Structure 1
Amino acid sequence: MKIPRPSARMPHLIQLRNLKMARSAHAYVRGSTVQFYEWLHSQPGRRLPHGPAIWICGDCHAGNLGPTGDTKGRIDMHIRDLDQTVIGNPAHDLVRLALSLATAARGSDLPGVTTARMLEEMMVGYEQAFKDKPDEVPPRPSQVKAGMRSAVERTWKNLARERIENARPSIPLGKHFWSLSRAEKSALESVCASDEIHQLVTSLKGRPKDAKVQLLDSAYWVKGCSSLGLLRYAALLGVGDKDDQEYCLIDIKEAVGAAAPRAARAKMPRDNGRRVVEGARQLSPGLGERMLATRFLDHGFFIRELLPQDMKLELDELSEIDAMHAAGYLARVVGIAHARQMDRDTRKDWMEVLQENRSKQLDAPSWLWTSVVQLVGSHEQGYLNHCRRYALEH
């Protein structure tokens, strides 16, 4: 493909984002965050119960959860994308996850009754996380088992095959990586020579604190869906002497203001990069300790080293059993992230709120079911209109 000049990236990125969102209703839900936030600000969205003001993901769809590694080499399922993290209402994360799971179920052609059962399992999994000593871990669905197994087995060479051609110490320009302007190259050289980056990449288990860190290559990174159009860079670093050099890939992503509703009078870092890092440390500490915030080119950024174990969870072609297991398991991951921020009394009060408004027909809050029904309908309409516009333009 012909790589666009740095000054001409935006039209290509917008076209790519529109293409990705046209591929499936589930992809549209993942990419149309603004539509979800507009609903939260609407009358139905404002009727949701008000949970305790804690750090939430803010964009808690299933694709933003997945296996992640920490600095000590351990792997577990966590919230892995925190661009929209704010101190807000935990009910918003529950509704966003429920919408994502319901859309995945529809994409797998599962009946509506399965969606209802998924919401029940989701609440069981979420509430399980709030018990002092969880006595029953929800079974990992096959997609999660496969993802965890792949994550455990992945090495830097796996990451290199996907991102860096032939494991050479350079980043190949093409579909995923585009060329940089002179100003971008110079700025990235300065950032990667900083003490903060040195400390970040040498904090990983087994790396000497005094290891030499060298920038080998860098590029503009074409990645994501709703975030396409923001500045994002990949930097390939060499750690250690040439004879025994390790490589690491650094993800440098622009941090912009969160569209997710925040709690009134919530005290958060004003700098968006610092907000993302602080939210990560609260919700996914193993990931948060591998991140830092910085500013260059008059923009705020957050930076993390990509580990081979960091993977996106794909929920495609779900069976009915796997759909219910996935709902319970992923909700428990979110519940753990929420619960660790609450004391015992706050947990108890929040659990009591979640037990309200349940019917004999559905063992989940009625507001959750009503919200999902409304959102699935509006997103289906939005998706079809998006596809129509895309077809007319192409």
Structure 2
Amino acid sequence: MAKKHAVPPRLRQQRLTALRNLKMAKSAHAYVRGNVVQFYDWLEQAGRVLPQGPEIWICGDCHVSNMGPVSDVDGNVDIQIRDLDQTVIGNPAHDLIRLGVSLATSARGSDLPGVVTAQMQEELIAGYELALSPSGHARVERPATIRVVMKRALKRRWKHLAEERLQDTTPDIPLGRKFWPITANEQQELQALAASDAMRNLVTQLIHRKVDAPIQLLDAKYWVKGCSSLGYLRYAVLLSVGRADKGKPDLCLIDIKEALRAAAPHAKGSPMPRSNADRIVQGAKHLAPHLGERMLAAKIQGKSVFVRELRPQDLKIDLDRLTSREAMGIARYLGHLVGRAHASQLDRKQRQQWLRDLKLQRPASIDAPSWLWRSVVELIQAHEGGYLDHCRGFALEQAQQQD
């Protein structure tokens, strides 16, 4: 029954565009997540003067769902940034604004009053500044919502990943809504990648796998996943690592994703890798070391892609319904998380200077920089209008298709 929802390669692009529009019409928060290009367009059009922070690797798309538990190759799990598609060497103020907008959208989705949104921006900047301070190594207490997702991550095993991603634990990737057939040429290129030394080095990093273990491609499909990435190359590849006659082989699920040009503006004088995939891997190593060590850059269909093995412990943070207290605790915690990722790239003198710059322009009415608060307010207004226009255009398009 599920196979009838699988789309052949010749119809792939048309269907992906429709799915992306549908996803973005589901909620204002989904619209924010899928609109990083418009985010930077709106930010630039506003003409707002932002502090020029130190030139470091930034996430570039620093919203709530792009953070969560991430496992390293030794099985250690920590909350880190988990999506680096937009990473560049740029202005850290952009990460603060993007996260501020995401938190504000979550507050609106939880029907929290506007004063809570203002308080969340205060907590965001307080947590971030703490990470830059001499005592920044001290961790901010994890809110209950974060502790729940972390506890869940620590309990997960391969079967949970397989049942969640593949709908089954059998060694294949079922055709259906999420997984579509690939062309013979795509199959050939994915087979070659699976047999490469680079892939071997990637999948045998886990402590319990042998470096010389045989690797076999069991299945590969086009993966209908994400929102901003819909319409670009995305593959799920299932590998076995190890011989059946020496014990049951490991199964590993590989995510291969097209590396797009970053929408986030980069520092002109700072050298970055020319390849978008190399840029993403490099940024991940600086901002999310658990994830960065599990990634590699490659090419499929002549396009730059980055590759990572998905681990059962990798989860995203979803904020459904928040109380005022939860919202402020999460804002402080995530602000500190991003602050630590930024501070790890700075020496003591640079941290002190950036901290001094952040403490400027504090209005009497709110203990957050005026540039941050005003940017968040204006961008929320722009996103609300853009979201409604998107929904109207999507509804009209659907009506025309039904006529």
User: TM tier, shorter chain?
Assistant: over 0.9
Displacement of 1:135: 7.1
1:35-74 paired onto structure 2 within 5 Å: 35-45=38-48, 47-74=49-76
CA separation in 2, counterparts of 1:162 and 1:132? 42
Please list the CA deviations of residues 167-206 of structure 1 after superposition, one character each: whole Å capped at 9, or x if unmatched.
1010011011110001100000000000110111000121
Instruction: Note closer, same or farther for the CA distance 1:135–1:347 as it changes in structure 2 (3 Å cut).
Output: closer
Deviation at 1:165, TM superposition (A): 3.5
The alpha-carbon deviation at position 219 of structure 1 amounts to 0.5
Contact 1:62/1:97 (8 A) holds in 2: yes
Deviates more, 1:16-25 or 1:125-134: 125-134
After TM superposition, the structure 1 = structure 2 runs for residues 305-320 of structure 1, keeping only pairs within 5 Å, are 305-320=309-324
In structure 1, the residue matched to 2:386 is 382
Quote the residue 1:259 is aligned against: 263
What is the Cα deviation at residue 88 of structure 1? 0.3
Are residue 2 (structure 1) and residue 1 (structure 2) matched?
Answer: no
Q: Distance in 2 between matches of 1:366 and 1:128?
A: 19
Structure 2 SS opposite 1:166:
coil
- The 5 A counterparts of 1:1-394 are 1-45=4-48, 47-134=49-136, 137-242=139-244, 243-394=247-398
| Counterpart Cα distance in 2 of 1:110 and 1:141 | 18
Q: List per-residue Cα deviations over 1:49-108 (Å, max 9, x = no partner).
A: 110110000111111111100011011111110111000000000000000000000010
TM-score normalised by the chain length of structure 1: 0.98
5+ residue gaps, structure 1, are none
1:296 to partner: Cα distance: 2.6
Give me the whole-angstrom Cα distance separating, in 2, the residues matched to 1:374 and 1:280. 30
Q: CA deviation at 1:130?
A: 1.4
Counterpart CA distance in 2 for 1:220 and 1:121 is 41
Cα drift, residue 265 of structure 1: 1.9
Q: Which runs of 5+ in 2 are unaligned?
A: 399-403
**For residue 303 of structure 2, what is the amino acid of its counterpart?**
H
| Paired residue secondary structure (1:129) | helix
2:316 maps to a residue whose letter is K
Asked if structure 1 preserves the Cα contact closer than 8 Å seen for 2:73 and 2:205, the reply is yes
Give the distance between the partners of 1:63 and 1:44, measured in 2 at CA. Answer: 28
Instruction: Give the Cα separation in 1 of the matches to 2:44 and 2:210.
Output: 49
Q: Deviations over 1:357-386 (max 9, x none)?
A: 002221110111000110000100001111
CA distance in 2, matches of 1:290, 1:330: 23
2-side partners of 1:41 and 1:112: how far apart? 25
TM-score (norm 2): 0.96
For residues 157 and 150 of structure 1, what CA distance do their matches in structure 2 show? 14
Higher mean alpha-carbon deviation, 293-302 vs 270-279, is at 293-302
**C-alpha distance in structure 2 between counterparts of 1:6 and 1:322, whole Å:** 45
Aligned partner of residue 70 in structure 2, secondary structure: strand
Say whether the 8 Å CA contact 2:241–2:251 is kept in structure 1.
yes
Q: Does the residue aligned with 1:55 lie in a helix, a strand or coil? A: strand
Which stretches of structure 1, 4 residues or more, deviate above 6 A after TM superposition? none
